[in-house]
Amino acid sequence: MLAISEESEPKITQMNMISSASISLDAEKIELAKISSFRHLRDKIYFAGRKGFIKLALREEVPSLPIISHGAHDTLIVLADLYEQAKQLHEWGMPWLLGIDPVVFPVYLGLPWGLSIGPLPNLPLPVQIRTRVCEPIVFERYGSEAARDRDYVDACFDRVTTQMQGELDCLVGT
């Protein structure tokens, strides 16, 4: 099984795949970065329009295996997201740390640093995190042609996010 995260590059990920693998969508990892600063999205599946995981699954002819988690966003207290300011500094010439655009740049309260900014690692506050491994999603068409068909990729993306949202709603309700 292969975990796809926001930081994963499809070319790097593709090199690590085997044809019998399934793609694991760890929504919590992707959501954690987004949810922390967007509280109104707390109980929503949000991939920020990123559909690379769908294209990768189609191209490699493997099913998607959604994994839904709820609760990790409570492991730190996000006060603000300074991504727009960090992005402006980058445009003025400041390089991204390790050459990676962080997508979010939070100001948060967490252990062990107290008040922290950016992508500093933290020790999570003790909270309950509930996780559900969902049924694999098998698509009707696979291959490079399917991965290049924007309408089909959009339909697959909608199918995955709808199923994940339904599972998250059930998980939050329990």
- Divide the 174 residues of the chain into consecutive groups of 10 and give the mean pLDDT of each group: 42 36 47 48 82 95 93 84 88 86 82 82 88 94 96 97 94 79
C-alpha span between 28 and 34 (Å, rounded): 10
Query: φ, ψ for residue 106 (rounded to 5)?
Result: -80, 155
* Selection from 17, 23, 22 nearest residue 5 by Cα: 23
Please, is 99 exposed, middle or buried when counting C-beta atoms within 10 Å of its C-beta (0-12, 13-18, 19+)?
A: exposed
State the pLDDT at residue 16.
35
Q: Say what angle helices 150-173 and 52-60 make with each other, to 10 degrees.
A: 110
**What local confidence, expressed as pLDDT, does residue 112 receive?**
84
pLDDT of 103? 79
